[in-house]
A and B are shown apart, each in its own frame.
Chain A
Amino acid sequence: MAAIDGLSSLVDLENGTISREVFVNEEIYRQEQEQIFARAWLFIGHESQIPNRGDFFISRMGEESVILTRDRRNKIHVFLNTCRHRGMKVCRYDAGNTQTFSCPYHGWTYDIDGRLVGVPNVQEAYDDRFDRSQWGLIEVPQMENYKGSIWATWDKGAPPFLDYIGDYKVYLDTLFDGYDGREGGAEVLDGVHIWRMPCNWKFPATTFGGDAAHAISHRSTLVAAYGPQGEGDRHGARQDAPQTRYEIGMPDLGHGCHIHMHSKDEPYTPTWQTMPNVEDYFRSAWESRQAKMIGNLYFEVGAATVFPNASWASGIRRTMAVWHPHGPQMTEAWRFYLVDKTTPPEARDALRRYHMRYSGPAGMTEQDDMENWNYASAASKGTIARRYPYNYQMRLGVEPVPDVPLPGFVSPILAEQNQRYRFKRWLEFMESPSWDEIYPKAVTAVGRQNGR
């Protein structure tokens, strides 16, 4: 089918239907690599994963391997993990510390800052005409260290990261700021879950982007009873405490989340009842955060996605999960778990264990997600199945909840408005040849300097 030309007919946001082609078609998948993954800001990792000069960590952008490094002058870089000579993967370790990357194929050697510093027999073999400065590692044209989290894009015309996330920043900050509300200060626990799921990458990205209705698929976790305190509901009593929940979509940016609102005078909800020290730590973090609050609002983000594929949650489940495309029917998931650097050992240990029993491929909650994504993808591939679009009509035409002083479009919980915005942005990326048509409307000073 003519996927490339007919995209807008496949995404019908007025009527709330999206063709299954969007999730299964090979050509659309290839076009996503060009239009989305080669242009959008993608999550790479966290500075805490490369604390020292010479440290590196292998990550991924879309389908490709990249190296996150910290050079001798303390500057952070992101390089494509491929030799400029004949393409060999220059680094095949997951992480470590080094001065150089030496290519095992013909011995070209790159400094950790990406410069090509060694080519065997360079004088004789290249008649002295070889310009090493032109053959360094391929580096992303834009990188951002946002409160310790590292993001990059392959497009030098892309808006600066702060314009790319725009007002969504207030949500994202709950991931990278401390439990007690201090700015930044997070670190990633060692051990990144990496696994393959036979589904299109948009299934997990969209579910996390604020599909609160899918909570029903986790019904069995009520019986498993492995909440933070080691028993009870998977969220503990927290979720039952009186609070307001909303779904948020960013109409022009495509990011989304669902949140639990708390008010300034709301008391701490006991969470880690069987671990008094951990409970004390989180209670005091809650109190300091409330003392710092400007205005009357605080929220935890239950699930969220930064367009296109960086999903995350905050509160006690602070994680970042990146859904890398690995073919139209395959996703490689990378899940990072965050805590505060200052979190004392006992609380850190409790969080670490809670993460492991909740999240990732062995997590009691997420196992069921993967079953759904797998067979939803598989059952959408057929010739007949493809003729029938998916339904995104929940609360179609919903009005924003009035008087909620939060950015983005605030819908009541159980709407699919944020998913519709996500696909609106998806379509804009897929159809626009340049950033001119799809540049974020609200622009920072840096964005203005870039000529916008």
Chain B
Amino acid sequence: MVAEQTRTRDAAIERLLLVCEIEEFLFAEAELLDQHHYSEWLDLFTEDAHYFMPIRRNVKYGEQDRESTSDETDVSWFDEGKGTLAGRVRQLATGYHWAEEPQSRTTHMVTNVQIVDAGPQEVSVRSRFLVYRNRLMDETDFFVGKREDVLRRDGDSWKIARRKILLDQKVLLAKNVTVFF
């Protein structure tokens, strides 16, 4: 009986430790973005990473499977790998990418971190984000939504192997998307 309780307790602690570890990783990632350390941010992705942000659709009740554009056939806001993310990072560092020159001020809030599935090498993680962007004088945007990540073990840290970003907007209310999520 006592042994059983200890086992349950140990498992719970294991799980909590994993949640803490993942949260720390995600918070550190947000920190890199808000400090505009984009190359370091890019290093957090695996070589085969998939970064995907579908367009949302208004659908009938019961047709929720059609609610987002597909990463196999459709046009989305983003659907790319590390190569094009790297292009974006290079562009941000030119000093004449006018959409981000001067740089926007951003704050990435990451909350509701949930481990959906934990394997020996990979964990599936859900979270919510609120990204605040303010640029020049008074231009302000809020991007709010959900993320579904697959993180892969990399030594004593993690890498992002998949990221699906569900922005809770149908019509994008920002004039452009120059921030990462």
Interface 9-mer from A1-9, A31-39, A170-178, A350-358: A350-358
Known A-B contacts A190-B75, A191-B75; the reply to A332 vs B171 at CB < 8 A is yes
Chain B residue at smallest Cβ distance from A352: B75
Residue in contact with A191 in the complex, picked from B55, B84, B100, B178, CB distance below 8 Å = B55
**With A and B bound together, what is the CA distance between A217 and B98 in angstroms?**
8
Interface 9-mer from A44-52, A145-153, A222-230: A222-230
**With A and B bound together, what is the CA distance between A332 and B83 in angstroms?**
30
Any B CB within 8 A of the CB of A193: yes
Do the beta carbons of B90 and A223 come within 8 Å of each other? Answer: yes
Do the beta carbons of A226 and B84 come within 8 Å of each other? Answer: yes
Known A-B contacts A190-B74, A190-B75; the reply to A374 vs B55 at CB < 8 A is no
B interface, how many residues as a size bin? Answer: 35 or more
Any B CB within 8 A of the CB of A371: yes
Q: Across the interface, which residues of B come within 8 angstroms of A348, CB to CB?
A: 73
Q: Mark A352-395, 1 if CB is under 8 A from B, else 0.
A: 11011100111010111011101100000000000000000000
Q: Across the interface, which residues of A come within 8 angstroms of B94, CB to CB?
A: 219-220, 223
Residue in contact with B98 in the complex, picked from A96, A337, A361, A371, CB distance below 8 Å = A371
Do the beta carbons of B57 and A226 come within 8 Å of each other? Answer: no
Chain B residue at smallest Cβ distance from A217: B98
Do the beta carbons of B87 and A224 come within 8 Å of each other? Answer: yes
Do the beta carbons of B80 and A356 come within 8 Å of each other? Answer: yes
Q: Across the interface, which residues of A come within 8 angstroms of B69, CB to CB?
A: 190-191
Q: Across the interface, which residues of B come within 8 angstroms of A361, CB to CB?
A: 77, 172, 174-177
CB distance from B92 to the nearest CB of A (A): 8
Do the beta carbons of B87 and A357 come within 8 Å of each other? Answer: yes
Known A-B contacts A230-B83, A361-B177, A362-B177; the reply to A196 vs B75 at CB < 8 A is no
**With A and B bound together, what is the CA distance between A332 and B170 in angstroms?**
12
Residue in contact with B171 in the complex, picked from A196, A224, A230, A366, CB distance below 8 Å = A196
Residues of A within 8 A of B (CB-CB), count: 46
**With A and B bound together, what is the CA distance between A303 and B72 in angstroms?**
28
CB distance from A218 to the nearest CB of B (A): 9
Q: Across the interface, which residues of A come within 8 angstroms of B57, CB to CB?
A: 94-95
Residue in contact with A356 in the complex, picked from B73, B79, B99, CB distance below 8 Å = B79
CB distance from A430 to the nearest CB of B (A): 27
Q: Across the interface, which residues of A come within 8 angstroms of B80, CB to CB?
A: 353, 356-357
Known A-B contacts A361-B77, A362-B77; the reply to A196 vs B97 at CB < 8 A is no
Q: Across the interface, which residues of A come within 8 angstroms of B175, CB to CB?
A: 195-199, 361, 370-371, 374
**With A and B bound together, what is the CA distance between A226 and B84 in angstroms?**
7
Do the beta carbons of A368 and B177 come within 8 Å of each other? Answer: no
Residue in B59, B78, B90 whose Cβ sees the most chain A Cβ within 10 Å: B90
Any A CB within 8 A of the CB of B173: yes
B residues apposed to A, CB below 8 Å: 53-55, 57-60, 63, 69-70, 73-80, 83-84, 87-88, 90-91, 93-94, 96-100, 136, 139, 170-178
Shortest 7 CB-CB contacts between residues of A and residues of B: A191-B75, A195-B172, A224-B91, A367-B99, A220-B97, A191-B74, A191-B69
For this complex, 6 residue pairs linking A to B, each with C-beta atoms less than 8 Å apart, are A191-B76, A194-B172, A195-B172, A196-B175, A337-B75, A361-B175
